[in-house]
Amino acid sequence: MNLSELKSLLAEHSQRHFRLALPDGSAVPVSFHVTEVGLVQKTFIDCGGKLRERSNCLLQVWVGEDYDHRIETGKMAGILEKAQSIFPDDGVPVEIEYEDRVISQYTINSFELTADAVVLRLARKHTECLAPELCGLPSIGRLPAIGGKSPCCGPGGSC
């Protein structure tokens, strides 16, 4: 979901609660705070030697001891509006940073409207080879999970 889509969703449902659902189906506690709205710009060289750049809006959420705190979609829209000047445009993807034992960043996979809330369904981020043709990786997409079998990672493979 990009920033424009999120802002539109919040504006359309400005009287509802704002909630986050983790990939495993559990919810970020409803007392979370949005502690940062940031523009993250990344310039890097991929494994094939190509210069790449990426930008995204990162919302950092934090759960403190303020258990009565609740954030509404209208307030969240206001927070994004205050940060508008730091973004080059509204087309940047939005990611959520949340700490639950470790700090993780999530993409927004989808949203759900409940009777009283807008729930953003989060998805895990994954790493991937950006130049598989140069690295000798098979064109099968992702390699199997750790412990899985892969034709290139055996004896005589090209890993």
Q: Residue 113 pairs with which residues in a beta bridge?
A: 118
**Which CA distances in Å does 87 have to 23, 42, 98?**
27, 14, 21
pLDDT of residue 152: 47
- The one-character DSSP state at 40 is E
* C-alpha span between 121 and 25 (Å, rounded): 8
Give residue limits of the domains in the chain.
3-135
CA dihedral of residues 15, 83, 106, 76 (deg, nearest 10): -10
Collect contacts of 65-69 with beta carbons under 8 A, ≥24 apart: 66/31, 66/33, 67/31, 68/31, 69/31, 69/32, 69/33
User: For the chain (length 159 residues), average pLDDT per consecutive 10?
Assistant: 97 96 96 96 94 97 89 96 96 96 96 97 94 76 51 49
pLDDT of residue 151: 47
* C-alpha span between 56 and 93 (Å, rounded): 5
pLDDT of residue 41: 97
pLDDT of residue 141: 54
Whole-model pTM over 0.85: no
pLDDT of residue 142: 54
